[in-house]
Amino acid sequence: MIEIAIDGTAASGKGTLAKNLAKKYGFAHLDTGLLYRKVADELIIKKKDTSSNLVYYSTKIARDLNFLELKKEDLRSEKTAKLASFIATYPKLREILNLKQKEFVIKNKTKFPGCILDGRDIGTKILPNADFKFFIDASIDIRAKRRLLEKNISFLQENDEKCMLQSLIREMKERDKLDSSRITSPLAPAVDAYVIDTSFIDADELLLKVTKIIEGI
Ligand code: CDP
């Protein structure tokens, strides 16, 4: 089974790349950020997000998590992402979610010719022996614009758009900082990863670039 690890910053295009590759090659795909987002979302729903015992509640939720039911649309908010990034610093929580990610790979070994995981520590921790590793990044301004577009807001006054962009830039910068500075599995390219900046290329161009690497053309 071919393993592909995709890591990168928020809204860099890593999720779309993972989806496009999975479709092109018929591989299994797991967006590992959804696991962290789901735990964060449950904490908010159960009103435990301000608890002083977040480690206890988040690990309890993580143990019972059925990740086959996860859908990004329900977990998209920056509030959820911010809490996800906060609890993602807990080594105990990462241990539980790491096992779930590895189970996903094992389960799909016989069903699919390949497997793609995208997240923050896939190339460094979850799939250290992956056949291909990619690290995707882009400038913060471009990433914030992409995130705003994803929100699918049909009409915004120019000033409101500027305000939303500024707050997205602030939130994403904070999250990148927390993700890159945590002690356990920080966001960083694996030494053997292809690092790609998507600031000036779109999803199709990125897919083409990556498929050329995979197919050796
Ligand atoms: O879509 P976006 O890149 O904004 O975020 P995500 O992939 O859904 O991940 C949300 C948060 O989960 C990240 O900011 C990380 O703190 C955490 N995460 C992680 O620590 N390790 C992973 N493998 C995936 C996500």
Tell me the pLDDT tens digit for each residue of 192-206.
999 999 999 999 999
Q: What is the pTM of this model?
A: 0.95
Question: Atom 20 (ligand 1): residue with closest C-alpha?
Answer: 88
Residue closest via CA to ligand 1's atom 9 equals: 33
Ligand 1 pocket test, pick from 65, 83, 85, 171 with the greatest ligand atom count within 8 Å of Cβ, gives 85
Mean pLDDT over 70-98 rounds to: 91
Residues 84, 174 contacting (CB under 8 angstroms): no
Does residue 179 line the site of ligand 1, with CB under 6 A?
yes
The residues near 39 (Cβ < 8 Å, ≥ 6 apart) are 58, 61, 62, 65, 84, 87, 93, 97
Whether 66 has a pLDDT exceeding 90, the answer reads no
| Cβ proximity of 100 and 67 under 8 Å | yes
Percent of the chain as helix, strand, coil, to the nearest 5: 55, 10, 30
The helix/strand/coil state of 164 is helix
Q: Give residue 115's domain range.
A: 2-215
Number of domains in the chain: 1
The more confidently predicted of residues 111 and 150 is: 111
CATH number of the domain encompassing residue 166: 3.40.50.300
Give the pLDDT confidence score for residue 76 in this predicted structure: 82
